[in-house]
A and B are shown apart, each in its own frame.
Chain A
């Protein structure tokens, strides 16, 4: 049994018992990356220190040191997160080769828990996109079908776990960048409650929406990662001071729960829409039937203002992004382009940003600048903020009736690379299901619920809970995961086509 097919929890058990070393586990994943990442392109950078770090963890374990549960387990890190010793580009040309002088808090917590950073994963430039096609370094390919998108912006992290290049990864979710890639790759991902995971060292897109979270193949693995990265951080002024329960304990309780008796599950009428793909609707309704059979009460709820969520989002996000991305000024870090014939610092700035930003980033900065301009602030940005209030009220009313809300994670399965790249508005609609949670700050999970019969591609379920009730996601998610896998007789990802090792075939033969 190859080590790459183990979940992080299974791998950690073998590491703990001494059956497997962290060096072996890390090497297995590095070999897998070498074998398949030429085709998948989940990674932008591989950590040259990974094996050294793994050897260090092995030595400390051998010396009898008590290590955390995931110590020695490899993890991939989305390139939006600052990492000492590894370039952090956020998928942008403007940060090509930039090595930050500090770690994001979530990265320091991974290191403190002795996980092994494998490398940095591909993403849409500055997390603007739903397909990774806006990465300056070329798109990531979906392991289920290399001609298709892996979702975005965190398509690299989702593809890395779905292609067994890493058991777990970190992502960030501003409007669905963890949950939508999970849906189209058949993996699991969680956007935690806003403020529950530190944003320090996460290159900012829209500060009132961004949240870092776990990416994995199982619900329990996401919970284990969430337990490590979550909690108050004095370096993030929006960090919540709450004490959080163990999400791994919630996932374990969910995995062994006999029924869903007493659980009220709300179906958002507006997110069970006629325009969604048939196979998505089919699997979604099957999962509702499964929950009902297990004792849950299914309640239809209405969220009339969700209709305005995408519009509000595409005003608030560009507005915040236009301000956040002002830091790329060609002075302190990143690219500098000197215009022909020289010029003032402002000319250099404009030439640098013109050359260093891709089309989608330019589009959103210009849109945000417009939305914030003096004559139009009330009409656009101000109105979008009011819609935000209305969406929160919709959620409040819904959660007064039910414990969790569910919807399809994405309206369709993975579409073809190139299909929507020239139509920004069509691309923006991919996130219609995920955006409301970001606007309201509530947590959401995406998990696989089957394959669409018409194309054989993964379909995801989104579970949403009230702010601070992230544990409900893990509990229900783990119960559903168990019931589905019992029904199927296997995991969903075990049905993904085998990726053919490309250039490394010879090398692995030589290694025997």
Chain B
């Protein structure tokens, strides 16, 4: 995956949205890309106001209630059976999930 950045918020273009859709693994029609380009620009313009108060002296909060990491005893518990694990799969061979080719021709 390339590390190329989308353009800044004030320059949300169709290409930026197409790039983001690729990163998100969502196939979008040209119509959808067109609509999202306008919407994303408007939303980002609005939410950018967080920068008015998010000054360097303010620490970030990722989680509302302070917690420490949680460990459980290393003993095997109940797990799903093979049938249960595969029950919702779109395609399987009886013991494994089936997918189409992992690599494309150019890879």
Q: Is the CB of B65 within 8 A of A194?
A: yes
Is the C-beta of A46 less than 8 angstroms from some C-beta in chain B? Answer: no
Q: Which residues of B contact A399 (CB under 8 A)?
A: none
Closest to B105 in A: A344
- Given A354-B27, A369-B20, A388-B61, the answer on whether A344 and B90 have CB atoms closer than 8 Å is no
Q: How many Å lie between the Cα of A194 and that of B62 in the bound state?
A: 13
B69 to chain A: closest CB distance in Å? 8
Q: How many Å lie between the Cα of A383 and that of B47 in the bound state?
A: 10
Residues 328 to 370 of chain A near chain B (Cβ within 8 Å): 329-336, 338-339, 342-351, 353-355, 357, 359, 362-363, 365-367, 369-370
B46 to chain A: closest CB distance in Å? 6
Contact with B along A366-387 (1 / 0, CB 8 A): 1101100111100110111111
Q: Show 20 A/B contacts (Cβ-Cβ < 8 Å), sorted by A.
A: A101-B88, A194-B65, A208-B64, A308-B52, A311-B46, A311-B47, A314-B46, A326-B25, A335-B90, A336-B90, A344-B101, A348-B100, A375-B6, A380-B47, A386-B55, A386-B58, A387-B53, A424-B43, A441-B63, A467-B64
Q: How many Å lie between the Cα of A195 and that of B63 in the bound state?
A: 11
Q: Is the CB of A351 within 8 A of B27?
A: yes
Q: Which residues of B contact A102 (CB under 8 A)?
A: 80
B residues contacting A by CB (< 8 A) are 3, 5-6, 8-9, 16-17, 20-29, 32, 36, 39-40, 42-44, 46-55, 58-65, 67, 69-70, 72, 80, 84-85, 87-91, 97, 99-104
Is the C-beta of A92 less than 8 angstroms from some C-beta in chain B? Answer: no
Q: Is the CB of A379 within 8 A of B51?
A: yes
Q: Is the CB of B54 within 8 A of A387?
A: yes
Q: Is the CB of A99 within 8 A of B87?
A: yes
Q: Is the CB of B47 within 8 A of A369?
A: no
Q: Is the CB of B88 within 8 A of A98?
A: yes
Q: Is the CB of B20 within 8 A of A354?
A: no
B32 to chain A: closest CB distance in Å? 7
A236 to chain B: closest CB distance in Å? 9
Q: Which residues of B contact A390 (CB under 8 A)?
A: 53-54, 58
Contact with B along A417-431 (1 / 0, CB 8 A): 000000011000000
B59 to chain A: closest CB distance in Å? 6
Closest to A315 in B: B47
Q: How many Å lie between the Cα of A332 and that of B23 in the bound state?
A: 20
Q: Is the CB of A424 within 8 A of B84?
A: no
A129 to chain B: closest CB distance in Å? 15
Q: Is the CB of B100 within 8 A of A441?
A: no
Q: Is the CB of A374 within 8 A of B3?
A: yes
Q: How many Å lie between the Cα of A367 and that of B65 in the bound state?
A: 26
Q: Is the CB of B27 within 8 A of A99?
A: no
- Given A367-B40, A389-B59, the answer on whether A344 and B49 have CB atoms closer than 8 Å is no
- Given A101-B84, A193-B65, A338-B100, the answer on whether A357 and B54 have CB atoms closer than 8 Å is no
Q: How many Å lie between the Cα of A179 and that of B90 in the bound state?
A: 36
Q: Is the CB of B80 within 8 A of A344?
A: no
Q: Is the CB of B100 within 8 A of A343?
A: yes
User: Which of B26, B29, B43, B52 lies in contact with A365, CB distance below 8 A?
Assistant: B26
Q: Which residues of A contact B46 (CB under 8 A)?
A: 311, 314, 425
Q: Is the CB of B90 within 8 A of A354?
A: no
- Given A345-B100, A366-B26, the answer on whether A374 and B5 have CB atoms closer than 8 Å is yes
Q: Which residues of B contact A338 (CB under 8 A)?
A: 100
Q: How many Å lie between the Cα of A143 and that of B44 in the bound state?
A: 36
Q: Is the CB of B26 within 8 A of A345?
A: no
User: Which of A311, A354, A382 lies in contact with B49, CB distance below 8 A?
Assistant: A311
Closest to A236 in B: B70
Sample of 7 further A-B pairs with CB below 8 A, known A99-B88, A311-B47, A345-B102? A238-B67, A345-B100, A362-B21, A362-B26, A363-B39, A374-B5, A376-B6
Q: Is the CB of B42 within 8 A of A425?
A: yes
Q: Is the CB of B100 within 8 A of A342?
A: yes
